[in-house]
Amino acid sequence: MRLATWNVNSVNARLETVLRWFEAAQPDVACLQEIKCVDEKFPAEAFERLGYNVAVHGQKTYNGVALVSKRPLEDVRRGLPGDDGDEQARYIEAVVSGPQPVRVASIYLPNGNPVGTEKFAYKLAWMDRLNAHARELLAWEEPFALMGDYNVIPEPRDAEFPKNWEGDALFQPESRRAFRALKNLGLTEAYLQADGAPGAYTFWDYQAGAWQRNNGIRIDHALLSPEATDLLTGVSIHRDVRGWDKPSDHVPLVIELDA
């Protein structure tokens, strides 16, 4: 099973680019973030024509996440548990059916900037909620993958110029500590497990020639339960997509599971 995560930075604005990648890469399941549309405006028919099932948790103009799967999606959950008043569409989860069912979540973790504001507090609180939910999922002892744009640079090696990010919420000690705490529950970071080579970035800003200078960061991650880690056979970052016409500032991260 080929699972992908990709922050598409507006699915409708970049639909031609997104569909081009789907046709070339043929993911079995894709976790999309920052779709920037309500459910009704998601271009489901375009994906259905390619043979995909779609589940969406959208929001007007901002945020929004989706799951796109060649296999049926069951037990769909929209929204991260722990705060009934949270109206931001940042989490969707479902079981991908098949001989070996796998639970998959698409995550768009809050950016948190500027540091010292309620936005940073919201980021850390959201990460605490994700930690609590991951604990519940681990208790079920089933294969699952928490995939998405985590808006966290885990280590200095995950940025071309780490010093440029020292004041940013993505690289704050609190953000990195919360990410480590999530992994320390017993989750495995797929990229580090299957590859781990430095310089493997998933995001390049549109400004100041970041792409041309390879001023990138690695903030898109796939965290796997022990049962999913046992199925992991490979990982790849589709770096070339950043050089396509009308690209997202993120590129797809793809993992392979023997499922």
What share of the chain in percent tops pLDDT 90? 97
Residue of 169, 247, 167 lying closest to 203 (CA atoms): 247
> Over 90: is that where the pLDDT of 208 sits?
no
Helix, strand, coil percentages in the chain from 3-state DSSP, rounded to 5:
30, 25, 45
Known binding residue 184? Answer is: no
> What mean pLDDT do residues 18-47 have?
98
> Over 90: is that where the pLDDT of 110 sits?
yes
User: Which amino acid, residue 227?
Assistant: E
pLDDT at 198: 86
Residue of 24, 225, 138, 187 lying closest to 4 (CA atoms): 24
Q: How far is CA 98 from the centre of its chain?
A: 22
Per-residue pLDDT of 150-180, as tens digits, reads 999 999 999 999 999 999 999 999 999 999 9
| Element containing residue 205 per DSSP (H, E) | none
Report the DSSP pairing between strands 2-7 and 29-33. parallel
> What mean pLDDT do residues 203-229 have?
96
Rounded CA separation 100/96 (Å): 9
Per-residue pLDDT of 50-80, as tens digits, reads 999 999 999 999 999 999 999 999 999 999 9
Question: Which positions are catalytic?
Answer: 108, 149, 250
Rounded CA separation 36/57 (Å): 10
Split at pLDDT 50, 70, 90, the class of 19 is very high
> What mean pLDDT do residues 203-221 have?
95
Known binding residue 7? Answer is: yes
Which residues, at least 6 apart from 45, have a Cβ–Cβ distance to it below 8 Å?
A: none
Split at pLDDT 50, 70, 90, the class of 32 is very high
pLDDT at 154: 98
Known binding residue 151? Answer is: yes
Per-residue pLDDT of 80-104, as tens digits, reads 999 999 999 999 999 999 899 999 9
Scan for tokens 């500027």, then name that residue: 114
Domains and CATH numbers, the chain: 2-257 (3.60.10.10)
> What mean pLDDT do residues 200-225 have?
96
pLDDT at 238: 98
Known binding residue 34? Answer is: yes
